[in-house]
Amino acid sequence: MSHRIAVVGGGPAGLTFARVLHRHDRPVTVLERDPGPDARPPGGTLDLHDKLGQLALDKAGLLAEFRALSRPEGQAMRILDVDGTVLRDWRPRPDEQANPEIDRGQLRDLLLGPLDVRWGRGVAEVVPGTRDGVLVRFADGRQETFDLVVGADGAWSRVRPALSSVRPHYTGVTLVESSLDDVDTRHPDLARLIGDGSVAVYGVNRAIVAQRNSGGHVKVYAQFRAPLDWHTDLERHLGLNRRAPLSPGLSPGRDGGRDAGLDPGLGRGLGRGLDLADVEAVRSSLLALFDGWAAPVLGLLRHGTAFVVRPLYVLPVSHTWAHVPGVTLLGDAAHLMPPLGVGANLAMLEGAELAESVAACGPGDPDEAVRAFEEHMWARAGRWAKMTAAGLERLVSPDPADALALFDEVQPS
């Protein structure tokens, strides 16, 4: 009889695991809490590395389809000084396939294919070691048992507590995400600023990054170091003071920086709590935080359609657990790290490797294969976690030259 295998989470890790098992004619059930594939925005774009994410897609038999969808030109990267000076402008060769970009939604649809996904099946708890196998309790009160449960359910995994009591901790860096739609038509100047790929501007303990997706959609990320409760008192936590408002029509920084004052609407949040649901208050506060930066760069914030606050959490660099038969973890559930282009790639490769190991066991007990997989995953993920933690320290640091030096090490100009 086939083993009863479930993967919790319908992200890149869980779907890659399931798709590779499907390729080996092994049944697997995907348990996803979202009610459907389009229940919420899928997120931004991913660069899939040739020896990580692309290798995983090759194991799933999907590499050719990925290359037909991906955007090699999206590998382009431009770095500006806060005054708008271009410091680096790297453009990929026409045949460059090291890290092509693909929208998360396109990748999800590619991986879904023929998979058996149980939508709207949020997991509340996983209990290993029962008489009938690993018990999965669902949020709606139902329950089911499996021989192997793989947790690929992200940072706040409901599977992880079955293996580890460790919880993610805040890095000290927060992202505020915004979006631009139809950028080439509605904001051609910003489209030229971003180019075919990404543009990044690094200042003292803060940065603005914009990344092109397909269809003229752009994701913008304002990044800064602050306490987790920064929005409760902008003056104390971010140094944003209320000053005399500017004359109508002027913008922050045009008259020489912070001492010139702030936009007329900035009084709503400065020096007291900021309502994160108030789009215009968040926009004004961000413009104040980046006051003095070049006007085209601030345009990325001025024209954003919404703002979503995303504090960055991580798991300890050396996170491991005592092996428990019947349960394991992949991706962010196992080794949450800063989002520097590695996490999804690692998660997909782990999903593919674990699936191949389980498939190779045939009707035999896959426990030893899972144990060996964990040992390999911990060693590799630990190296990447250490590098990405150091990378975040350099990208959002007191010295913007650290960010530029990191870029030169990764992608020489």
Q: Is 225 annotated as a binding residue?
A: no
Nearest to 333 by CA among 142, 119, 156, 76: 156
CA dihedral 83, 76, 403, 407 (to 10 degrees): -140
Phi and psi at 292, nearest 5°, equal: 95, -15
Triad 284, 288, 291: Cα angle to 5°: 135
Phi and psi at 13, nearest 5°, equal: -65, -50
Distances (CA, A) of 356 to 22, 56, 69, 335, 369: 10, 11, 25, 21, 10
Task: Say which residues have a Cβ less than 8 Å from residue 390's Cβ, sequence separation at least 6.
Answer: none
Q: Is 40 annotated as a binding residue?
A: yes
Give, for 283, the enclosing helix (H) or strand (E).
helix 279-289
Say how many C-beta atoms besides its own lie within 10 A of residue 286's C-beta: 24
Q: Is 116 annotated as a binding residue?
A: no
Alpha-carbon Rg for the chain, nearest whole angstrom, is 23
Q: Distance between terminal CA atoms of the chain? A: 56
Nearest to 258 by CA among 241, 273, 272: 241
**How far apart (Å, rounded) are the C-alpha atoms in residues 189 and 194?**
9
Residues β-bridged to residue 145: 135
Q: Is 34 annotated as a binding residue?
A: no
348: three-class secondary structure by DSSP: helix
Contact 77, 197 (CB under 8 A): yes
Annotated binding site for NADPH: 40
Annotated binding site: 40, 47, 104, 332
Annotated binding site for FAD: 47, 104, 332
